[in-house]
Amino acid sequence: MPPFAIAPTHVILHQNNQSGWVEWDVTGDVRTFLSHQANNYGWIIRKDDEGASGQVDYASRENTNPPQLVVELGDPAPPAGNGLTAISDADVRSGSPNQNQGNRMRLQAQNSGNNRVLVQFDRTAMLATVGSGTLQTAKLRLY
């Protein structure tokens, strides 16, 4: 399949002027990463209707509220903390190819040039977080 042509694992609806944390359910993805059924390349965030006007900005890992992966476990009790912090993030822009966008304070998804957001978390840290517990849910959170 061509890049970005696969069906999304989770879709959320953004409202104009929405702020705060946004969450996607990525439980199935994390399970396949941990079981070696798929490579952990992270996630691509894009607008569902890229022909519609507007943009969505998220805080990058260089910002106050970096992307998080929040994992909830069954027994034994989960470790304390808000979640894993992204090891890498960037936005890619079809209108600005071959330029580093990985050190910006924000991640931008928009229709102009079909910008997409990329976020990745460390697989070893995922394994350590789950440990001998049972993965119940995993949520990708962007602010």
Q: What's the pLDDT tens digit per position in 76-97?
A: 555 555 689 999 988 877 766 6
Buried b (16+ CB within 10 A) or exposed e, 2-37: eeeeeeeeeeeeeeeeeeeebebebbebbeebbeee
What digits encode the pLDDT tens for the residues 47-74? 777 677 777 888 898 888 999 999 888 7
DSSP 38: S
Distance of CA 14 to the CA centre of its chain: 15
Kindly report the pTM of this predicted structure.
0.76
Amino acid found at 96: S
∠ Cα 65 41 87 (to 5°): 35
